[in-house]
Every structure is written in C-alpha cells, then in structure tokens.
Amino acid sequence: MSVEFCGIELAHPVINGSGTFDAIAARRAFGNAIDEEFPFAAFVSKTITLAPRAGNPPPRLWEAQAGLINSIGLPNKGLERYIAEDLPELARLPVPLITNVMGSTAEEIASLLQACDARPEIAAVELNVSCPNVQTGLDIGADPLALERVLRAVRAELHKPLIVKLTPNCADVSACALAAQKGGADAVSLINTLRATALTPADGHKQTLGPADPWLGGGSGGLSGAAIRPVALAQVAAVAKRIAIPVVGMGGIQNALHARQFLGVGARLVAVGTESFRNPSIATRIATELDCVHGPHSLV
C-alpha cells in the first residue's frame, strides 16, 4: 500500500514521530534486524539544533493516566556532529530520511535548512516550531503571523519538501496550519505533545521537596500516549479541513483502527510515537493491518 507524500514514494503510510525512535541506538539494541525489519515508511530524526544541547536534568519522565509526560529537553549533538556522525548511519536505513530541526530565529532556521539542503541523504525536513520566539516569548508555532513570517523568510533555503510540525498548545491550530501553508510549507504534522506537568507525590522519592513541587527536572513537560488521542483526532480533523497540503496525523495511535481514524479524517500519513516505546515493532503491525483489512482511507 504505497503512498505518495510530497513527491516521495513511501511503502506505507506509517512513520515515526520525531524523538520517539532512535535508529542508531536501536541498532545497538537489536543489531541488523533494525535495518531488515525497519517498521516505518520514512524515518524522522530527533530534533536537531545548531548548537549541541545536553537536555533537561532528570527526572525526565512521569507515567500519567494512559500516557506519559516527558521533559527531555531536545538533547542532540548539534547540526555539525549530526551531519558528520549520524547522517552516514541514518543513510543506511532502507527508508527516506526526514530530518527534524529547530531554531529560535529565522537566521538559525535558515542555517539549518541550508545545511539539510546540501545533504542528499535527507529527503525532507520537518521544522519543529514549538520553540519560543526570542522577542515575544510565544512559541513561533502558536502565533500564526509569526509562523508565516518566519517561513516566508526561510523557505527559499530548502529545495526539498518542508513539513511544519505544529504545536497543539495554541488557541487555533487550524489558523496556524493555514499560516504554515501560506508561508510555503509542503505539509504539516500534528500533534506535538500537550503541555503538562506532574507534581512530586506525597510519598515521593524526592523527599527533600514538598508535594507541590514539580516532579520533572525541566519543570513541565509534554503529554503523549493514548490519553491525547481524542484531542489529536480533533486537531487533525480541523486542520485537514482547512488546508490543501498533506497532513501527518499523530497522537496516541496504538493500532490500525486508530491509524484508520486519523487517515479517515484527512491525514495522508500517520506517525506512531509513544506506542513504539511499548513495542518497538508496532508500526510494522499497524502498516500490515492497514494493508490487509481495508484501503488507507476507509473508516471502520
């Protein structure tokens, strides 16, 4: 069940959410099986920034009701080392590579796009816009005007498909999606994690802190997993109605039925994230079941 996405031919419509699968680490754990049985139709990298980032101090995880709150802090080795060290490893994967990048200014984003443009290993770029604007403090992706302005300023730097990873933490996600389309995005992906926090439990392991203190080292984090699926489905449906460019739908997808729901409300592709933590090969099963039972756009 191959599918066309921004001019790229994919074997099936299931990819990974950025930051939820590390193909290089997976090779250390599973060996060559990861290349032979790669579960996704395209691989989306973790977010890459210009400068290296250590990420947030632990604890970074909190198990919520049917979900997970993470405060990882986008650790990455920075653009230069990503290209020198990771890209050759990722190029060995049997699927197209989508590199996810984030910058806090148009200039930073332009540099990231230029670097990705120059690398033939990279088929497309996904731009993470859940990054505060240095002037306003608002997430770039939460402000339609700022989003369109930034995209217009940088779009010419990339001669490849540009996917904008929208943030759900905004007043009107479809307005942001429309701004992304106007700014030159070839596709949008959503939803990113919902901003969330967890407090240190009363019987807490962090006994020096009181019960009203945040558990996560980064203070607050993002909620993912089954708990967010109804929210994600609503946002994907709203966005798909509003824009003409393809939508990558994600948020709590655990099986083919869920995937079919997202495809049914207008997503071109679906992405699996937290469910891969529970079972790394689940995307293979979802893709197989989508293929076996129905076409990609039929609803159960």
Chain residues binding other proteins by CB under 8 A are: 19-22, 24-26, 28-31, 33-34, 37, 46, 54-55, 57-68, 70, 72, 75, 205-206, 215, 217, 225-226, 274, 276-281, 284
Give the residue with the Cβ less far from other proteins, 34 or 267.
Answer: 34
Give every strand in the sheet of 14-16, ordered side by side: 14-16, 269-272, 247-250, 187-190, 162-165, 122-128, 97-101, 43-48
Give the residue with the Cβ less far from other proteins, 68 or 259.
Answer: 68
Give the residue with the Cβ less far from other proteins, 177 or 215.
Answer: 215
* Minimum distance, C-beta of residue 218 to other proteins, in the bound complex (Å): 11
Which amino acid does the sequence have at 273?
Answer: G
Q: What is the torsion angle, in degrees rounded to the nearest 10, for the CA atoms of residue 168, residue 172, residue 178 and residue 179?
A: -80
For the stretch 290-293, contacts whose Cβ atoms lie closer than 8 Å and that sit 24 or more positions apart, written own/partner, are 290/1, 290/12, 290/13, 290/14, 290/256, 290/259, 290/260, 290/263, 291/1, 291/12, 293/256
* Minimum distance, C-beta of residue 228 to other proteins, in the bound complex (Å): 12
Looking only at the bridges linking them, the beta strands covering 187-190 and 67-70 are unpaired
* Minimum distance, C-beta of residue 65 to other proteins, in the bound complex (Å): 4
Cα distance between residue 160 and residue 171, in whole Å: 30
Annotated active-site residue in 131, 170, 176, 292 = 131
Is 170 an annotated catalytic residue? no
Give the residue with the Cβ less far from other proteins, 169 or 284.
Answer: 284
Give the residue with the Cβ less far from other proteins, 57 or 132.
Answer: 57
* Minimum distance, C-beta of residue 78 to other proteins, in the bound complex (Å): 12
**Other C-beta atoms within 10 Å of 146: how many?**
20
* Minimum distance, C-beta of residue 69 to other proteins, in the bound complex (Å): 10
Cα distance between residue 111 and residue 69, in whole Å: 31
Provide the annotated active-site residues.
131
